[in-house]
């Protein structure tokens, strides 16, 4: 186990203190558990909005994630002001990496802190910030969009995204 993996597991364990640790093929289960517990009202932290998305991104295609206008699990716009949990997972079957970066228009700079910041996500890898602290990952009208890009010229890529946060 690398230090990065240990850090991710500790964050997930902290976020979900009363659930078992997630490992192996269920490593994305932590995000699903947060979304499910949020939607049923059993999450014991102060989360107000959440969503789980599964995107199929065409070869060399892009997918925009808007943390305020995309629809949440309750069918309403996410309207987030703070992200508490964000996980982005590139499917293991993807032929190439996927990248994530702040969009050029209204890019979300609270996590990737420069418009030019690009993070590679190889197939099977999960990335994302977790924080129980107000103001750690602020979302605002001009600070709200992430862009996912499939770098493969021949194959579509599948990306799973779970986001949970607070509304105004």
Q: Which residue has the tokens 């949440």?
A: 72
What are the boundaries of each domain within the chain? 45-167
Q: Are 139 and 77 in contact (CB under 8 A)?
A: no
Q: Which of 48, 61, 55 is nearest to 139 (CA)?
A: 48
* Structure confidence by residue, pLDDT tens digits, 76-96: 999 999 999 999 999 999 999
Rounded to two decimals, what is the model's pTM?
Answer: 0.74
Q: Which residue has the tokens 């939607």?
A: 39
Q: Give me the pLDDT at residue 41, please.
A: 52
Report d(CA 5, CA 160) in Å as an integer: 18
Average pLDDT of the chain is 79
Mean pLDDT for the stretch of residues 153-160: 97
* Structure confidence by residue, pLDDT tens digits, 44-56: 445 678 899 999 9
- Its CATH class, for the domain covering 45-167, is mainly beta
- Cα diameter, the chain: 44
DSSP SS3 for 167: strand
């Amino acid at each position: 186990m690398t230090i990065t993996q240990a850090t991710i597991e500790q964050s997930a364990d902290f976020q979900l203190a009363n659930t078992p640790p997630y490992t192996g093929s269920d490593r994305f289960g932590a995000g699903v558990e947060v979304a499910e517990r949020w939607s049923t009202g059993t999450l014991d932290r102060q989360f107000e909005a959440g969503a789980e998305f599964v995107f199929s991104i065409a070869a060399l295609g892009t997918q925009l994630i808007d943390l305020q206008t995309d629809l949440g699990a309750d069918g309403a716009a996410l309207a987030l002001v703070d992200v508490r949990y964000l996980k982005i997972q590139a499917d293991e079957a993807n032929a190439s990496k996927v990248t994530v970066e702040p969009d050029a228009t209204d890019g979300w700079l609270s996590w990737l802190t420069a418009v030019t910041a690009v993070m590679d996500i190889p197939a099977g890898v999960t990335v994302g910030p977790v924080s129980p602290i107000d103001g750690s990952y602020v979302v605002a009208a001009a600070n709200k969009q992430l862009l996912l890009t499939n770098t493969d010229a021949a194959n579509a890529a599948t990306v799973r995204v779970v986001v949970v946060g607070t509304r105004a």
